[in-house]
Structure 1
């Protein structure tokens, strides 16, 4: 009996039953699909193994056809080495005494320290003078600014005071004028009343 192929399984048709309930056709189709997938996988694995087997057989045949026994290789004879010549010891030079350290006189060190101290002192003095001059210059500028602002404020206040004094003087003059006019009017009014009283008084 020949083996089934995937086409045989896919094209297989089931006859429906007439007098009794049969299998579900959808389930049968799904199962056949699974069988087809399984057969495809097995077929591919079989073909792959067959190719590997053929490749292995081919390599074995090539090795058997080309195998030959290698000829023995002659070992080289060791060459005779000359005897070593005696080593003559050379005379070692006598050790040279290390040079004694040169002592620096204390006076030279003291002079260097004094020179350095004097240089540092001069630098500090110069820096202090420069900073002092800068501080004095800034103080002068600030003082001039303060004096100028004070003079401006003084001028403004004096001008305002002069203006207010002028206004007060004008008010005083106006009050004096009003007082003089008022006194004159009152005096004239009182004189008129006295004249009227004198004229209306009975004679004895």
Structure 2
């Protein structure tokens, strides 16, 4: 799927819960700049394409006129030649006029020069269009690479954070287990101690001079 400027601007990344990765404002600013540049290049490329089409139409029109003008010039030369022959003396043959032919050749040369200049202009505009498209494609590739790198870094940071939390949880669970075992041992020891003390009290002789009514 091709990446559009809107895709770059509207791209959203998952925010980590425990530790931030890249600065979100900087990432958003960078993606906004990439989107603006892509839109500018796309508009420039469209304008150059339209201008290129207009120049091609002008070249075709000039080429059509180039073929039409020499025929018109030579036709005019034939008419002049007929007029000269009609009014010439019967004995002296009139020379063939060269001016119309030279005029036709001059028109053809000028048309050829104009066509060459327009062709050069077309080539220059084609080069500008190619350069703009190459720059646009390079920016798209750079934006895609940066987006992939950001996503990969965010995923790696998330995995590292989860691994760290899992390690801490396992450590806490181990400590809880140790505390419970200690508590069980302590309760058992305390119970044995109290029971021993009670048995000692039950087996001890009555003290002399005990108050009356206790035996």
Q: Could you tell me the TM-score, scaled by structure 2's length?
A: 0.36
Q: Could you tell me the TM-score, scaled by structure 1's length?
A: 0.38
- Structure with larger RCO (C-alpha < 8 A, sep 6+): 2
Q: Which has the larger radius of gyration?
A: 1
Structure richer in helix, relative to its length? 2
